[in-house]
Structure 1
Amino acid sequence: MKKWLFLFIALFLTIGLAACGEADIEEAENEDNQQEDTNGDNAGEQEDNQKEEETNENTTEKFAIGDTVNFDGVKITLNEARIEPGGEFDTPQNDQFVVVNLSAENTTDEEVTMSSIMNIELKDAESYSYSTTILTEGIKAQFDGSIEPGGTLRGEIPFDVPKSESYELHFSDPFKSGKAIWEIPSDQLSQ
């Protein structure tokens, strides 16, 4: 019986790993840039194709607050990063709460799920990684849920972190390789 159980688990893991792939990550263009490309000459299109190839080869390109990234057909924007003081029942165990405000637009034909625990982490300047924490005051809505085709989701994720010169917000799919990374200098954190 143990032999069959072991074979079943091995087969399940093999199929699961075979389903894993690499995420398609690129900076999303706004509509103004897209219109210029269609009205411009062929040189602009070649430049865009070269940028896309470079982005696909190097998935560690870093983005800034306000940038939108197309991550496998979901356009994700880091709208804001700020420091929240907490409240009577919310005191940081480290130095401060950093809250990121994200929006996601599903441009695929299938429903997608966003999870602040599975998809998001924040790293400080020393590369220490932090996952979401509980903050009851100052958060508009969590960045968790399903997005139907053509739908959007907006929410916030709090992190309990030490003070740092800068932070990096990492978005990834746990079943694929590749990350979208936004740089957040401390002087750009609103209060």
Structure 2
Amino acid sequence: MKKMYGLMALAMVFMMLFLGACGESDIEKDVSAANNEEGSNSNNAAKNGDTEDDSDSTESLNVGEAVNFNGVKITLNEARIEPGGEFDTPENDQFIVVNLTAENNSDEEATMSSIMNVELYDDEGYSYSTTILTEGTKGQFDGAIPAGKKLRGEIPFDVPEAESYELHFSDPFQSGKAIWVINSEDLAQ
């Protein structure tokens, strides 16, 4: 009986440590990287209900803009339609490839995962996870980033045609996310 109480106490301590690691992400738009008009950025933020004073930790961005996410600067460099290779046939209408850069400005190693950190949504709210392309992508957006270093990579998605998409970046162990709005006319061919 004493062993059972000891195991329960140990399990509770483990759960408290695990849940203590969960929290809220520190997210803010990186204004130094903004290369779009200030008016269009504030209009997108207002349309999504996001303002500078919101405490819901969601930031709305456009292609080419960056966000500081827990000490890591994440930039959506490009979004494009990719035909894929000889053995690549989309199950939906097309492959969209996003090109991201993560710059670790913190003092600790950071980890990026295209599967755990990134999702693409269409304009109807359907979510799409990463897929595999045999050709047409450069590097993976996966791995450890030492303090002061960068990681650049591409993530392919198999999606139907839509007027717009949203690329969501989040930390699965914390609340908050960055959302890039990608209009279909902004997709490179």
Shorter-chain TM-score bucket reads 0.7 to 0.9
**Cα distance in structure 2, aligned partners of 1:119 and 1:11:** 28
Superposition deviation, residue 59 in structure 1 = 2.3
Question: Could you report, residue by residue, the CA deviation over 1:163-185 in whole angstroms, capped at 9, with x for unpaired residues?
Answer: 11110000000110000000001
Superposition deviation, residue 29 in structure 1 = 2.6
Superposition deviation, residue 94 in structure 1 = 0.8
The unaligned stretches of length 5 or more in structure 2 are 35-50
The unaligned stretches of length 5 or more in structure 1 are 33-52
Residue equivalent to 1:22: 24
Summarize the Cα distance change of 1:85–1:18 in structure 2 as closer, same or farther, 3 Å threshold. Answer: same
**Cα distance in structure 1, aligned partners of 2:157 and 2:122:** 11
Given that 1:25 and 1:55 are in contact with CA atoms closer than 8 Å, whether structure 2 keeps it comes out as: no
- The residue identity in structure 1 corresponding to 2:168 is H
**Cα distance in structure 1, aligned partners of 2:70 and 2:13:** 27
Superposition deviation, residue 56 in structure 1 = 5.6
Q: Does 2:134 align with 1:136?
A: yes
**Cα distance in structure 2, aligned partners of 1:14 and 1:56:** 29
Q: Does 2:10 align with 1:13?
A: no
- The residue identity in structure 1 corresponding to 2:94 is Q
RMSD: 2.1
**Cα distance in structure 2, aligned partners of 1:174 and 1:31:** 25
Given that 2:76 and 2:98 are in contact with CA atoms closer than 8 Å, whether structure 1 keeps it comes out as: yes
Aligned identity (percent) is 65
> In structure 1, which of residues 111, 116, 120 is the aligned counterpart of residue 114 of structure 2?
116
Superposition deviation, residue 142 in structure 1 = 0.8
User: Which runs of structure 2 are paired with 1:56-135 in the superposition (5 Å)?
Assistant: 57-135=55-133
**Cα distance in structure 2, aligned partners of 1:97 and 1:176:** 29
Superposition deviation, residue 88 in structure 1 = 1.1
| Structure 1 residue ranges, 4+ long, deviating more than 3 angstroms after superposition | 1-11
Q: How many aligned positions are there? A: 171
Superposition deviation, residue 5 in structure 1 = 5.9
